[in-house]
Amino acid sequence: MALSWIGAVKAVPWGDVIAAAPSVMQGANALWERVAKKRGKDESTPVAPPGSSDGQRLVALEEAVTELQKEARDASQLIRTLAGQNAQLVAEVGALRLRLRVLAVAGAGLLVAVLAALATLLSR
């Protein structure tokens, strides 16, 4: 079990993961800051004061919808990036599983060959 994890860790394209990490973290931090700022703003003041006109309330609601759409696009991009990295990891793990099977079969064949050679040498 430990060998498979070591092999999996070695096979991951860490250069790509490390290169993408800052942009993923920046996206996550920006999204988090916007959401936290928006929540703080929403908790302190309503979108439009209760006594305002319908036009003012409509403008405030349109601004809120625009901001939510922007946050949804940003979150979607972040999720897409993370999904791409996840797909790379899954592909590498699949390749490692195939290599492990090939090595297990080759190792078993080598063991049989060595035992046959040893038995032949001992029988003389």
Map out the domains of the chain as residue ranges.
Answer: 14-123
Per-residue pLDDT reduced to its tens digit, 81-98:
787 777 787 778 888 889
CA nearest neighbour of 16 among 116, 87, 105, 93? 87
- Mean pLDDT for all residues in the chain: 79
Q: What is the pTM of this model?
A: 0.46
Task: Specify the pLDDT at position 122.
Answer: 92
Residue 28 CA to residue 22 CA, distance in Å, equals 10
Higher-pLDDT residue of 53 and 107 is 107
* Three-state SS at 78: helix
Residue 24 CA to residue 51 CA, distance in Å, equals 42
CA distances from 37 to 14, 31, 44 (A): 34, 10, 11
33's enclosing H/E stretch is helix 14-44
Pair 17, 85: CB distance under 8 Å:
yes
